């Protein structure tokens, strides 16, 4: 049976890398993000390479509770059986001491990383194919395990994801839905560009002198997690570049 994976935030970085790898592995893909043009290109490229899989894309802002409920409720019937949900959409905005933080940045992080994950999960859980294997993978972070200077609100949102992952595992236990948290350290994606509001130079500096993880490294880890036998669940997996010891201690050459 071909399994269906729903990936939020598939237009870039880790989400896009998951779509690319899981397409190669023969999964059917349900992909969403705000930038539909990017998803259209991704869909065309993947179908040209893997013509036997099915891909359905749609525009979604996970912060909008009504839109999330309507879009997922309105999915074509053949897309209403989901095996794997990858709650990946997320962002960091700003890197300032809390007393200098921007309220708009705080709202965007809390609304996307916590509330968005909740809205999507609530809409998707009733559609999960518990008879053939159902699994929720939440993108946490090293920032959900420790707090680093100026990381304040981003770290708080990822600590919340950590708590929600544990809570989901308890609440969904009797339905047999696996729940996993993937917690990466430094991954070179558009993450830092978004954090620094489009300042590419500043974003590039985050990775100077170090070999960060790639989206593909994280996608391969997710593939490992979702292909364990039915009786095995990886609860929590922290993945860092070899050159990174903690959120901020990095061996730069
Ligand atoms: N890169 C890193 O170092 C780390 C990243 N993470 C986490 O991994 C996840 C993916 O980030 P990463 O790939 O690095 O970053 P990117 O910025 O490259 O990708 C983020 C994705 O999230 C989507 N997204 C953001 N806001 C929304 C929204 N409101 N509604 C729908 N989709 C949204 C974006 O799509 P669009 O803009 O088109 O909507 C994009 O596809 C995040 O949860 C992040 O916190 C965790 C640890 C480390
Ligand atoms: C510290 C990290 O590795 C992570 N990318 C983050 O910025 O939180």
- Ligand 1 centroid, distance to 202 Cα (angstroms): 18
pLDDT value, residue 253: 95
Give me ligand 2 centre to Cα 116, in Å.
20
162: tokens are 């950590």
- pTM for the predicted model, two decimal places: 0.99
* Residue 86 backbone phi and psi in degrees, to 5: -105, 105
Long-range contacts of 120-123 (CB under 8 A, 24+ apart): 120/8, 120/62, 120/68, 120/72, 120/85, 120/87, 120/89, 121/85, 121/87, 121/164, 121/168, 122/69, 123/68, 123/69, 123/72, 123/73
Domain residue spans of the chain? 4-239
CA atoms within 13 A on the CB side of 218: 31
- Is-contact 83 134, C-beta < 8 A? yes
From 27, 119, 148, 154, the catalytic residue: 154
Give the span between the Cα atoms of 147 and 153, in whole angstroms: 9
**Ligand 2 neighbour 143 (Cβ under 6 A):** yes
Ligand 2 centroid vs 160 CA: distance in angstroms?
Answer: 16
Please tell me the class of the 4-239 domain. Answer: alpha beta
Distance CA 213, CA 76 (A): 36
Contacts of 54 (CB under 8 A, 6+ apart): 2, 28, 29
pLDDT tens per residue, the chain (253 residues)? 999 999 999 999 999 999 999 999 999 999 999 999 999 999 999 999 999 999 999 999 999 999 999 999 999 999 999 999 999 999 999 999 999 999 999 999 999 999 999 999 999 999 999 999 999 999 999 999 999 999 999 999 999 999 999 999 999 999 999 999 999 999 999 999 999 999 999 999 999 999 999 999 999 999 999 999 999 999 999 999 999 999 999 999 9
Identify which of 186, 187, 192, 245 to mutate to test ligand 2's pocket (most ligand atoms within 8 A of the CB). Answer: 186
Across the beta sheet with 134-139, what order do the strands follow? 55-59, 28-33, 4-8, 84-87, 134-139, 177-184, 236-239
CA 40 to chain centre: 19
Distance 218 CA to ligand 1 centre (A): 13
User: CB of 87 within 8 A of CB of 168?
Assistant: no
- Give me the pLDDT at residue 126, please: 98
Dist. CA 216–CA 198, nearest whole Å: 23
Dig out the tokens for 85 from the structure.
Answer: 């949900």
- Cβ of 142 less than 6 Å from ligand 2: yes
Task: Write down the ipTM of this complex.
Answer: 0.98
Kindly give the number of the ligand 2 atom that is closest to the alpha carbon of 240.
Answer: 3
Of 140, 131, 127, 205, the closest CA to residue 179 belongs to: 140
Nearest-CA residue for atom 1 of ligand 2? 247
- The closest alpha carbon to 181, from 160, 161, 155, 151, belongs to 161
The Cα 243–Cα 9 span in angstroms is 27
- Looking at ligand 1, which atom is closest to the CA of residue 87? 43
Assigned token pair, 194? 């978004």
User: pLDDT value at position 165?
Assistant: 99
- Specify which residues 118 forms β-bridges with: none
Choose one of 94, 142, 194, 249 to mutate for the ligand 2 pocket test, by most ligand atoms within 8 angstroms of C-beta.
Answer: 142
Specify whether 154 is catalytic: yes
């Amino acid at each position: 049976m071909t399994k269906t994976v729903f990936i939020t935030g598939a237009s870039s970085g880790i989400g896009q890398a998951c779509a690319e790898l899981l397409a190669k592995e023969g999964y059917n893909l349900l992909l969403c993000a705000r930038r539909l043009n990017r998803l259209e290109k991704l869909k065309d490229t993947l179908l040209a390479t893997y013509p036997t899989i099915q891909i359905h894309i749609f525009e979604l802002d996970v912060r909008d509770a009504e839109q999330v409920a309507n879009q997922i409720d309105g999915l074509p019937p053949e897309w209403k059986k989901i095996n794997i949900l990858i709650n990946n959409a997320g962002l960091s905005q700003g890197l300032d001491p809390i007393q200098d933080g921007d309220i708009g940045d705080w709202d965007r992080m809390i609304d996307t990383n916590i509330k968005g994950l909740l809205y999507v999960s609530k809409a998707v859980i009733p559609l999960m194919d518990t008879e053939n294997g159902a699994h929720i993978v939440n993108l946490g972070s090293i920032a959900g395990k420790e707090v680093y200077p100026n990381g304040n609100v981003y770290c708080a949102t990822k600590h919340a994801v950590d708590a929600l992952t544990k809570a989901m595992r308890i609440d969904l236990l009797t339905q047999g839905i696996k729940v996993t948290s993937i917690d990466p350290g430094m991954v070179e994606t558009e993450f830092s560009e978004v954090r620094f509001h489009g300042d590419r130079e500043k974003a590039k500096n985050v990775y100077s002198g170090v070999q960060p993880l790639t989206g593909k490294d994280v996608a391969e880890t997710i593939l490992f997690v979702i292909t364990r036998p039915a009786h095995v669940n990886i609860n929590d997996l922290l993945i860092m570049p070899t050159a990174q010891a903690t959120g901020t201690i990095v061996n730069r050459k």
